[in-house]
Amino acid sequence: MAKVWIDGETSIEVEDADGVNAVSLTVDDKKVIVSAGQTVLEAVQRMNGIGNIPALCNHPAVKPYGACRICTVEVSEDGGSKFKFVAACLYSVKEGLIVKTNTEKIKKLRRGIIELMLARCPNVKRIQELAEEYGVEKPRFVLGDQDCILCGLCVRACQEIIGKSAISLVNRGIYREVAAPFYAYELTEECIGCGDCAFVCPTGAIEMGPDGRPILPKVKIPYGEIEALMKKEAATPS
Amino acid sequence: MVEQVRRLLEKRVGSVAELEKLRQSIVDKKDSGRTCISVCGGTACRASGAEAVVDAFVDEIERRELQVQVEMKETGCHGFCEKGPLVVIEPKKIFYQQVKPEDVAEIIAETVLGGKVIERLLYVDPVSSERITYESDVPFYKRQTRTIFGANGTIDPTNIEDYIAIGGYSALSKVLTGMKPQKVIDEVKKSGLRGRGGGGFPTGRKWQSCRDIKGAIKYVICNADEGDPGAYQDRSLLEGNPHSVLEGMIIGAYAIGSHQGYIYVRNEYPLAVRHARIAIEQAMDYGLLGENILGSGFDFTVTINKGGGAFVCGESSALMASLEGKIGEPKAKYVHMSEKGLWDSPSLLNNVKTWANVPLIINKGADWYSKIGTAGSKGTMIFSLVGNINNTGLVEVPMGITLREMIFDIGGGIPNGKKFKAVQTGGPSGGCIPEQFLDTPVDFDELTKLGSMMGSGGMIVMDEDTCMVDVAKYFVEFLKGESCGKCTPCREGINRMSEVLNAITQGKGKREDLETLEDLAGILSAGALCALGQTAANPVLSTLRYFRDEYLAHIDEKKCPAGVCRELIQYSIDPERCEGCLRCLRACPTGAIVGEKREVHTLNQGLCIKCGACYDVCKFDAVIRQ
């Protein structure tokens, strides 16, 4: 018999569940039994009052991606002597795993990531809420004015659920953005106007336009750099 | 067509015994006393005009009808890039440096036919001022242990018979005839070889996990996506000795049970791509690749995949995504790529240098190999020694050599009598190591302890005129451009780091900025998705650790002690010293300097763009930089 928690307040005694496709893990010092084959994030999100893992780039309808990193937790595979940081949305549950979702280290990391997101998108409600929850005040950086956090959910929904890829992520690094084929901001007939992208967007950066197609977040690329680059390229004869 | 097939069949080596017979016949054909002129055809020597030298030799040999007596060979990189184009004349190995096409006729007449040494083309040791005649006496080469790189200077990389003549593919013979796959892996494990691409993961263990995973399809991949600024040893190895890499890959494939290999090489390395392609074609013709290799029943083919030059594609999961035809973005590696890699199949990825080590281990044995190096790092490592150093070039040394030996004995020290300041190792993921650690033995673990890393073997030497904040800024800017942008810490964090560093170098820094930089470093190392982001802060952290006072000088005094950061320096003309020679006035691109001949010049600060042109040309030290 072992004591197992089923939510934040309730524990029950269970017999050894041999032959059941389940694993037991410890989440924030509470032992739980969850079905195997899911990620730490899925398992924790299903349990009421145990663990606290925020997530922005994750959605049950699409495959996990691991971009926002806000779901980072500490895990130990060796009974607690060594912990490492992993993205909960990508890390699979396994027998005996110890998960810590809210240590000081984790909170510090999340505060840092939220500060970076808030500096990029100071006007997004979801980010403001997270900032308040984690006690992030004014970011220490030059503020941007974007809505898109580049979590890629819209792109993945269009590709994985609809099978269209009417939008994709283009460019790399800080110049990355969501665009239609051939680097257009206006959507083409590839878009069936299903609205999936707008629905999954965690920040409301994509809205449906009057023509029934979504309006993409026109990324105002960091602080005038791309305009300068484009001018430079236009000025250089190729 | 029939003729082609017949030729192919003729070349094909059907068994180990036939390979030995072929080797013997190639060696017999070679006259060891015959003059052989080998010209370095590596990319660096080509840039200094080696191709024109090669053409001149070919013409001259034809003109004098010496084709029988003299063999002419364009080899891969010899390593001493500083002094290129390099020419070595065998059998005595007379070493000529900085050879020009005009020198060729004289070399043929005097040295090849007359047996005389041309003093003017010899290398002069900057320390002893002695002229050195033979390659092996040049201090740059003398102190190296060239087990992997040595053949580069003697073989024509486009001719498989050259490689076979020096014992090439004998490790493959040994493996295919007498070693079970597990025995091969045991040997690699025992050798202590660690991955040469940067991570330093034990190679044998990687091979083992790839072998142990059940799967009908397994892949072997060579990572030739070298992208660190200042590092070019992988390129030179693939250019100069592609068969050694191929042989390593075939042995690896046999050990794990793979039948398909890939060489992922960046398209910016056209010569490496060309030589690898020729090597694959020739190995196919000779039956050393393809079906039923050396009659053993083992099949393996290799395909070249050209990368677009993204730095992040050197990361294993991004490389495999790119190989699959997807955007080169990393994935989480909670399951190793050796278990689930390319197209979700077990995939064995090793660096160019790692593969090239394999034939050596098999031929000479793990016991021999593990005697070279330190307790935790075995074998040799090829470093590219660049920056403010006299002997720029590629250096192969046993692990454990000190930084001082490498920089001062082999590298010949710092040019122009300047003082050594720091050495940056491991590329953008590495760190800057200051003078007090020059006696540190170089191996994987020691460099990590100093806050740097071995990486792929880049070594950038910096003199006293280098601003360490500027260096940190340079690497952060590099990574900002190379971050794939998938995860928040890397995309946003590196960008903000660059923002803060730019402010500091412009004199707009605050004390709190240092804490901000350290916070960002923490977010990157704990939160980033792949190694690019996780290690991105190392250049900043290591300079903060060893050169914090320089950051403080920028912040508190608004001064750049090394005189590099433009916003923090000012040029002026010392009226006491100015002779009125007009040199600076003519050099100034903005007309900021005014004055008449033989009269003291003045500098208009409003027009000055601080390019330093006046400072460089002044012969009287009259231009002051503060």
How do residues A121-153 score in pLDDT, each as one tens digit? 999 999 999 999 999 999 999 998 899 999 999
SS3 B139: helix
Over residues B271-280, the mean pLDDT reads: 96
Numbered residues of chain A with Cβ closer than 8 Å to any chain B Cβ: 65-70, 72, 85-87, 90-92, 105, 108-109, 112-113, 116-117, 119-120, 140-142, 149-150, 152, 169, 171-176, 222
H helices of B266-341, where?
A: 270-285, 316-323
CB proximity B285 to A under 8 Å: no
A130 belongs to a structural domain: no
- Same domain membership, residue A98 and residue A7: yes
Instruction: Give the β-pairing of B35-40 and B70-75.
Output: parallel
Is A232 a domain residue? Answer: no
- Report the chain B residue with the minimal C-alpha distance to residue A72: B527
Is A44 part of any domain? Answer: yes
Task: Give me the domains of chain B, ranges plus CATH numbers.
Answer: 31-142 (3.40.30.10), 160-181+201-362 (3.40.50.11540), 380-463 (3.10.20.600), 468-556 (1.20.1440.230), 570-625 (3.30.70.20)
How large is the ipTM? 0.91
User: Cβ A69–B496 below 8 Å, yes or no?
Assistant: no
From chain A, pick out residues whose CB is under 8 angstroms from the CB of B489: 69, 112-113, 116
- Selected for mutation to probe chain A from B331, B492, B512 (highest A CB count within 10 Å) is B492
Tens digit of each residue's pLDDT (9 = 90 or more) over B300-329: 999 999 998 899 999 999 999 999 999 999
Please check the confidence at residue A68 and state whether its pLDDT lies above 80: yes
Whether B336 contacts chain A with CB within 8 A = no
Q: What HEC string does B121-133 produce?
A: HCEECCCCCCEEC
Residues A9 and A95 in one domain: yes
CB spacing of A67 vs B512 below 8 angstroms = no
Tell me if chain A has a CB within 8 Å of the CB of B23.
no
Segment among A219-233, B237-251, B421-435 with least mean pLDDT: A219-233
Instruction: Provide the pLDDT for residue A235.
Output: 63
A-chain CB neighbours of B496 within 8 Å are: 116, 119, 141
pLDDT of residue B52: 95
What CATH number corresponds to the domain at position A42? 3.10.20.740
The DSSP code for B562 is T
pLDDT surpassing 50 at residue B346: yes
* B349 in A contact zone (CB under 8 Å): no
pLDDT(A64) > 90: yes
Cβ separation of B332 and A90 shorter than 8 Å?
Answer: yes
Total domains in chain A come to 2
Chain B neighbors of A140, CB-CB under 8 A:
512, 516
Same domain (yes/no): A162, A83 = no
Q: Residue length, chain B?
A: 626
- Other Cβ atoms less than 10 A from the Cβ of B515: the count is 11
pLDDT band for position B455 (cuts 50, 70, 90): confident
Kindly indicate the confidence band of residue A109, based on its pLDDT and cuts at 50, 70 and 90.
Answer: very high
Cis geometry, peptide bond prior to residue B91 (ω within 30 degrees of 0):
yes
* Unique residue bearing structure tokens 């995949």: B305
Which residues fall within 8 angstroms of residue B11, CB to CB, at 6 or more apart? Answer: B285, B286, B287
| Confidence (pLDDT) at A225 | 58
Same domain, A157 and A217: yes
Query: Do the Cβ atoms of A113 and B481 come within 8 Å?
Result: no
pLDDT tens digit sequence for B106-155: 999 999 998 899 999 999 988 788 999 999 999 999 999 999 998 988 89
* Per-position b or e across B355-375, b if 16+ CB within 10 A of its CB: bbbbbbbbbeebeebbebbbe
More confident of the two residues A232 and B204: B204
Q: Is B404 exposed, middle or buried (0-12, 13-18, 19+ CB in 10 A)?
A: middle
Partners of residue B327 in chain A, C-beta under 8 Å:
169
**CA-angle at B472, arms to B549 and B396, nearest 5°:** 110
Give the model's confidence band at B7: pLDDT under 50 very low, under 70 low, under 90 confident, else very high: low
Q: Do B331 and A66 touch (CB under 8 A)?
A: yes
Nearest to B487 among A66, A92, A142 (CB): A66
The string of DSSP letters for B369-413 reads HHTSB-SSSBSEEEEEEEES-SS-EEEEEETT-BHHIIIIIIS--
pLDDT classification of B31: cutoffs 50, 70, 90? confident
User: Would the CB atoms of A116 and B488 count as touching at under 8 Å?
Assistant: yes
Buried b (16+ CB within 10 A) or exposed e, A161-196: eeeeebbbbbebbbbbbbbbeeeeeebeeebeebbb
Cβ contact A69–B485 (<8 Å): no
Kindly state whether residue A83 falls inside one of the protein's structural domains: yes
How many residue pairs from chains A and B have C-beta atoms closer than 8 A? 101
Best residue of A40, A41, A69 to probe chain B, by most B CBs closer than 10 Å: A69
Enclosing domain of residue A13? 2-102
Residue owning tokens 């084709």:
B67
Contact B496 A116 (CB under 8 A): yes
Percent of chain B clearing pLDDT 90 (strictly above): 82
d(C-alpha B446, C-alpha B425), whole Å: 12
Same domain, A8 and A97: yes
Question: Which of B485, B492, B516 lies closest to A172 in CB terms?
Answer: B485
Banded model confidence at residue A238, pLDDT cuts 50, 70, 90: very low
With contacts defined as CB-CB under 8 Å, which chain B residues touch A65?
486
Q: Spell out which residues of chain A touch residue B332, defining contact as CB-CB under 8 Å.
A: 66, 86-87, 90-91
Tell me what percent of the residues of chain B surpass a pLDDT of 70: 99
Q: Is residue A148 part of a domain?
A: no
Q: Is B308 on the interface with A (CB under 8 A)?
A: no
Residue B522 CA to residue B545 CA, distance in Å, equals 14
- The answer to whether residue A230 sits within a structural domain is no
In a domain, A138, yes or no: no
Whether B74 shows a pLDDT value over 80: the answer reads yes
CATH code (residue A200)? 3.30.70.20
Are A37 and A92 contacting, i.e. CB atoms less than 8 angstroms apart? yes
Rounded to the nearest angstrom, the minimum Cα separation between B309 and chain A is 13
Give yes or no for B402 touching A (CB within 8 A). no
- Say how far apart CA A33 and CA A25 lie, in whole Å: 6
Angstrom distance (rounded) from CA B269 to CA B265: 7
Residue A223 pLDDT more than 50?
no
- A39 part of a folded domain: yes
Question: From the list B516, B519, B526, which residue is nearest A85 (CB)?
Answer: B526
Interface contact flag, B523 A112, Cβ < 8 Å: yes
CB B222 within 8 A of CB B195: no
Whether the CB of B196 is below 8 Å from some CB of chain A: the reply is no
